[in-house]
Amino acid sequence: MLSLFCFSLKWYHIGYIELKMDFKSFKEMLKRIFFVIFTAAVLACHADPKPQPIVEGVTNVMPDEQQKLVIKEVVNLIESYNYKKIQINDSISSLILDKYIKSLDQGKNYFLASDIKEFEKYRTTLDDDFKNGDLSGPFYIYNVYAKRLNEYFKYSLAQIKSKFDFNQNDTYVYDREKLPWAASSTALNETWKKRVKYELINLNLAGTAQDKNVETLTKRYQNLQSQTSKTNNQDVFQILMDAFTESVDPHTNYFVPTRATEFNEEMSRSFEGIGARLQLENEVVKISEIIPGGPAFKGKQLSAGDRIIAVAQADGEFVDVVGWRLDVTVTKIKGPKGTKVRLKVIPVGKEMSSKPVIIELVREKIILEDQSAKKKVKTVTTNGKDYKIGIISLPAFYADFKAANSGDKNYKSTTRDVRKLVDSLKNIDKVDAIVMDLRGNGGGSLVEAISLTGLFIDKGPVVQVKDLRGKIEVDEDQTSGVAWDGPFGVMIDRLSASASEIFAGAIQDYGRGIVMGSQSYGKGTVQSSIDLNKLVNPGMLQKIAGLVTRDKTIGTSPSTANPADINLGQINLTMAKFYRVAGSSTQHKGVTPDIVFPSLYPMDKIGEDTEPSALPWDVIPSSNFKAVANLTAIKAGLIKNSEQRIANSLDFKYVKQDIAELKKRDAEVSVTLNENKLKAERDAQEAKSLTRQNELRALRGLPAIKKGEKVTKQDAFDFIEDESLKVMGDFMQQSGNYVMNLGVATAPKL
């Protein structure tokens, strides 16, 4: 499978934009990629890699044959097809080493100066090692890290029962990033001892007995030890590949098989299983949530809080899963729809020694409706006139490509869901305007971004795409007519990225509606999602399977010669940039709203312009699009009214204070270990927060709350949304008889 996406913020799993190519170019690209993959695979199978250095005193995690092959293929793909046309050389090798070490130990709490000095031998060799399929260096670095981690966990456990003086005026430096690496374990032991003291103080301030706190912290560190010991070579490989791809550009990503599955499930907003969310608690898998509509929900046999201790497939034998990694247990419980799974469950409220209940469920395809588009209706009053406004909240531009490709006419997609919501808002709720809420929406399918735009404009260009050869393609909405021809607005924030920026940018360029919020993320690159298995000759997978079988140091890799068990993972490779119909790239600069609100997020910490390896902003010629309106004159009045409201808004006043406070705290690297002082600081902060809450509640006619009382969900107030609705009210009043040309029979009046 080779599909093309726009993929943004890695830590958000943001954006997946399908890129169209003409068939001839697409076929030629496939042939070239296949040749690169196949040739490298043959060489990989005959390579003579360096022996893996062993770290004494720890169970060493080792790379396997699959990973040795994958690293070579990723190098080849990046050098041949990445948009930046970059070569993996000594300079990139140096960046990879720094990022890899930082990802393992950003706070400098584990490695010693001597370790870092030893790792310098890899600074300019990783590029050559990767091309040769040699992972010995990075895995050695990880095993040193694991050894240090075990040493400090062991030391910390011994310190928990120490007699600490909580009245001392000492401090704990929790952020050592700008400090030099520790010269000895003795020096770091002092840091870890203070960390233990700080954690005990936090437990003390929570109000529980000190003896109980010692027990709680002991279990916490024992659990950390246990979970760390379960780290496998896939985990290490993912950390390494993140460091590698981030050194090239922020949005080229490699996913190990389990992460690839998560990525594709998130994209489709569906998965096949029992319909329950799970978490790990004290080495036991616990159900945290039952998903409405799934087998677990329908069967009414499982509840949140139940603990799963064993799993069996259909009529097979039960396998005890206590102490297992959560992801491994999840793979046992998930499975193809229509198949059976049996669970041994300790019901919530029962002791773990209780007799388990056996529950049998038939797996189904679960649609994640809570992560899909939703609507609500609110009324805003402007100069004595009421307006009903429909708000559509869209968390991502999703699409179930697997279902669509299999011919499922009812496959799930953003445009399908939003069209139904628009029809309901228009025909049932009888709204006067619609607002699309894209706050926090990191992106999605380009096809969905185009088709969704088409619900609000008539046929025409939506986005331009420039590939690595410099060829520019204009992608258009080709469907006549619109689903909504009335007043329209779009809400964005700093976390709106990728496909969100395409949609918001098109609406803005066409003059189809008002864009409100803060500057978006600025992610304007397109990724190709490549399943590496599909590009490797089946015979080569058989050879790899044979090597895996003979390898005695592969950790969790399958000890079988079945090629079907070999999964090489997936890479999302940056292969193009997208541009607005007016020609401007969203890369780096994002979309600037028509009506700008103060950002809730630090602009200097989040955004494409904070990424050192990001591509620059640029401009290409405008496409042949025709704006439906020029809203420039109207915007001036909207901006003036909004700025006046924001200047007098207590909510926005507190936002500005919070941003200033965040910058101040960001510069702090230590905390007091005097319990009374720390308590006084937190009490003052809580009192300040409570005063703020009650001031805001009073403005909204709500009763004051006391210390410790929780704010109900019904009392929550979205002041960004509130201001956006007021802008829409102004928009409808100020536009008067202004007419948009949407290409419909009768041009609607706003």
Q: Which residues are catalytic?
A: 498, 509, 523
List residues bridging with 461 in a β-sheet: 476
- Residue 194 · residue 109 · CB < 8 Å: no
Map tokens 């379960």 to a residue: 230
Max CA pair span of the chain: 82
In sequence order, the 6+-apart residues with CB closer than 8 A to the CB of 379 are 386, 387, 388, 389
Q: ∠ CA(345), CA(347), CA(351), 5° rounding?
A: 100
One-letter amino acid of 632: T
Angle at CA 584, nearest 5°, toward 582 and 585?
Answer: 135
Q: Are 273 and 262 in contact (CB under 8 A)?
A: no
Q: Which residues contact 508 (CB under 8 A, 6 or more apart)?
A: 490, 515, 591, 594
Identify whether the C-beta of residue 77 lies closer than 8 Å to the C-beta of residue 532. Answer: no
Distances (CA, A) of 403 to 258, 407, 410, 730: 20, 7, 8, 43
Packing angle between helix 675-699 and helix 185-205, nearest 10 degrees? 50
Cβ atoms of 258 and 619 closer than 8 Å = no
As a whole number of angstroms, the distance between CA 193 and CA 172 comes to: 9
> Phi and psi for 731 in degrees, rounded to 5?
-60, -45
Alpha carbon distance 514, 509 (integer Å): 10
Tokens 């049996």 appear where? 342
**Among 284, 283, 234, 278, which residue's Cα sits nearest to residue 260?**
234
Count of beta carbons in the 10 Å neighbourhood of residue 484: 24
Give DSSP secondary structure letters for 478-514.
Answer: ---S-S--S-EEEEE-TT--THHHHHHHHHHHHT-SE
Q: Percentage helix, strand, coil, to 5, in the chain?
A: 45, 20, 40
DSSP letter at 354?
S
- CA–CA distance, 724 with 387 (Å, rounded to integer): 13
What number of CA atoms fall less than 13 Å from residue 429's CA on the CB side?
22
Cβ atoms 500, 608 nearer than 8 A: no
- Say how far apart CA 520 and CA 498 lie, in whole Å: 9
84, 615 in Cβ contact below 8 A? yes
Task: Specify the DSSP class assigned to residue 399.
Answer: B
Cα separation of 674 and 198, whole Å? 9
Please state, in angstroms and rounded to a whole number, the distance separating the CA atoms of residues 470 and 577. 10
The kind and range of the H/E element at 343 are strand 340-346
- Which residues is 279 bridged to in the sheet? 286
